[in-house]
A and B are shown apart, each in its own frame.
Chain A
Amino acid sequence: MPDAPPAFRAPLPSDPASWDMAASERLANAAVAGEVLADLADADDRIVVLTADLKFSNRTVDFERRHPRRFLNVGIAEQHMVTMAAGMATFGYVPYVATFASFVGLLCAEQLRTDLAYPGLPVRVLAHHAGISLGFYGTSHHATEDLGLLRAMANMTVICPCDAASTERALRTTVDHDGPIYFRLGRGREPDVHAPGAPAFEVGRLATLRDGGDLAIVANGVTVAPALAAAEQLATEGVEATVLDAHTIRPFDAETLCAVAARSGRLLVAEEHNVVGGLASACADALVDGGVGGVRLARAGMPPDEYALIGPPTHLYRHYGLDADGLAARARALLDR
């Protein structure tokens, strides 16, 4: 089949604000996964990669090129893919399965629970283009409930890195992790928060990216960069915000969260998820369980009773207040300013 460059002249735009999906695929932070896994697989023959007719979107094709015999395309059959990986894991393999978050975190919820989490098998899920990052593809392609489902699964580890460096770090440090991991990845327009190679990243620990005593902003994935930008805006107004990167949702670092929240009593949670069931819920659980009273919690995310509008991703982030301006406004409201 023809794999030659198509006969067209114009290069695809790569403006970070662009909603050009085709261009975004080239930059997906999942994009690092194929190469990183190929590197790891050079020295580890347990690693196999599976995808469901999306190898170009998630760049697992980069793994296929280097390890063709350990790459399996199962066709458009996600539920089968997850369960097939479970079967392989019982033979000592460490399978990585990759597809859009909506078609694994939601479509395969029961397979994730019953075939991976319950037996505690070391299968890793690369759930990319999560949240509303597929924009005008609409609700079928959005995953704004997956954290709610995954958080309730015993034995499951859930990691939501904010950029390419974090994704690489998360993959490299968890190969030997006992049990399944759900990596929730974006569409690839996440600006670099961390310098390549050296992100502060320890699975299971909240990372403090910025320190300030007036409020704390907890973010993960695509909301980390705007949370930092919002903190910069607020600083010019004399408001100092702590920014936490909650890259690990499960297990959740309740201890750090409670300590930080107790300091200012003001917590703004920013997540690309329904405000029910995800990061904000994890924070609320931690506060109540930890007996930390009097904290005002604001939830920025998808409204509890709505499915997203149609629109380009960046426009949707703005509409739902998940960009820097939106988060700064929520922070001011939280501080009654």
Chain B
Amino acid sequence: MPGNRTTDPAAPAALAAGAAGAAPAPLEQIRRRAAIVRNETLRLIEVAKSGHYTSVFSAAELLAALYSGVLRLADDPEWPDRDRLVLSKGHVAVGVYPLLAEHGYIPAELLDQYTRLGNPLGDHPDMRRVPGIDFSSGSLGHGLSIGVGMAQAARMRGYGSRIWVLLGDQELNEGQIWEAAQAAGHFGLGNLVAIVDRNQMGLDGLTEDVMTVEPIGDRFRAFGWRVVELDGHDPAAVWETLTAVPATDTTTPTCLVAHTVKGKGIGYMELSRTWHLGYLAPPDATDAARELEGFHA
């Protein structure tokens, strides 16, 4: 329940480092978790027989860092003061579930039945079915507005929560994104961080061929945001940038443009539009797993 924080029983001792933490960069953990994200995505899509490999692979290091101490979380997924992560590109969910399982928010056995009838884990995340999912998504373009609402509410409640929103780059075509961007600037939501997975592609091809999204940085800056560009596959760069966001009581929202490659990790999937939605039957999945082993080594 999003009630009064002083009555909250969650033990701050259980917190991960949090974005402002001065802990040494957990680069090994980030690499290990990025491997979990990619390998488990391969395995779970094998169960579903359809899924978004490439949209997860571009975000693997970002998700790994978020769950390696960037997000301020407690053992209780409902702890009111926690950071929130809104998966605006909801089709990345298959890469997040394994991290939620590792974190203890969901039983690992659920993963084995991913998308099967009645399982809570679908292709898009559901906040009412999956502990640790802060908002349901799947319809692109909604997430930044959710984030603005959460950031505004956190401020009104006096919570220290930071609100993170993971956006696709082609998703920036949606008009609602810019309605949210203008509001975040207007309301001065320094506790809001948008991460754009700049993996260069939407579904039908390269973003700039389908419908231009550049200049992303200038567009956000025009609405009063601070913009930082980073290499979204370099664990050190990801860690440094995500932990260097301003304090939550500041007044400028932050947009992190993470330069990534859609499909990163499997050579023939990289920047290949045929793999936005796909299915690797067993022999190919085995080859892909082997290739990932090399990639993460």
**A and B bind:** yes
Number of A-B pairs, beta carbon distance below 8 Å:
148
Once A1-B271, A140-B139 are accepted as A-B contacts, the answer to whether A10 and B173 lie under 8 Å apart by CB is no
Cβ of A321 within 8 Å of any chain B Cβ, yes or no, is no
> Do A21 and B277 have beta carbons less than 8 Å apart?
yes
User: B259-275, CB under 8 A of A: which get 1 and which 0?
Assistant: 00000000111011111
- Contacts of A3 on B, CB cut-off 8 Å? 273-274
- Contacts of A141 on B, CB cut-off 8 Å? 123-124, 138-139
Cβ of A161 within 8 Å of any chain B Cβ, yes or no, is no
Q: Smallest Cβ distance from B222 to chain A, in angstroms?
A: 19
Cβ of A118 within 8 Å of any chain B Cβ, yes or no, is no
Task: Report the bound CA distance from A233 to B265 in whole Å.
Answer: 51
Task: Report the bound CA distance from A76 to B173 in whole Å.
Answer: 5
- Contacts of A76 on B, CB cut-off 8 Å? 140-141, 170-171, 173-174, 202, 211
- Contacts of B280 on A, CB cut-off 8 Å? 8, 10
Q: Among the listed B120, B139, B174, B269, which residue makes an inter-chain contact with A6, where contact means beta carbons less than 8 Å apart?
A: B269
Number of residues of chain A lying within 8 A (CB) of chain B: 49
> Do A102 and B139 have beta carbons less than 8 Å apart?
yes
> Do B204 and A55 have beta carbons less than 8 Å apart?
yes
Nearest B residue to A80 via CB reads B175
Cβ of B121 within 8 Å of any chain A Cβ, yes or no, is yes
Task: Report the bound CA distance from A107 to B174 in whole Å.
Answer: 12
Task: Report the bound CA distance from A10 to B285 in whole Å.
Answer: 10
User: A34-68, CB under 8 A of B: which get 1 and which 0?
Assistant: 00000000000000000101111100010000000
The B interface is mostly helix, strand or loop, or mixed, namely loop
Cβ of A292 within 8 Å of any chain B Cβ, yes or no, is no
From residue 195 to 229 of chain B, which have CB atoms closer than 8 A to chain A? 202-206, 209-211, 213
Cβ of A312 within 8 Å of any chain B Cβ, yes or no, is yes
> Do B283 and A10 have beta carbons less than 8 Å apart?
yes
Q: Among the listed B120, B126, B137, B210, which residue makes an inter-chain contact with A75, where contact means beta carbons less than 8 Å apart?
A: B210
Q: How large is the interface on B (under 10, 10 to 19, 20 to 34, 35 or more residues)?
A: 35 or more
- Contacts of B211 on A, CB cut-off 8 Å? 53, 73-77
> Do B115 and A1 have beta carbons less than 8 Å apart?
no
Q: Among the listed A1, A5, A7, A140, which residue makes an inter-chain contact with B209, where contact means beta carbons less than 8 Å apart?
A: A1
Task: Report the bound CA distance from A257 to B44 in whole Å.
Answer: 47
Task: Report the bound CA distance from A138 to B123 in whole Å.
Answer: 7
Nearest A residue to B120 via CB reads A310
Task: Please name 5 further chain A to chain B contacts, defined as beta carbons within 8 Å, in addition to the given A75-B202, A77-B174, A140-B137, sorted by A numbering.
Answer: A21-B49, A54-B204, A77-B175, A102-B139, A141-B138
- Which residues from chain A sit less than 8 Å from chain B, CB to CB? 1-3, 5-10, 12-13, 18-23, 25, 51, 53-57, 61, 73-77, 79-80, 102-103, 107, 135-141, 309-312, 315-316, 319
CB pairs A–B below 8 angstroms (7 shown): A10-B284, A53-B211, A103-B139, A138-B136, A139-B138, A141-B138, A312-B115
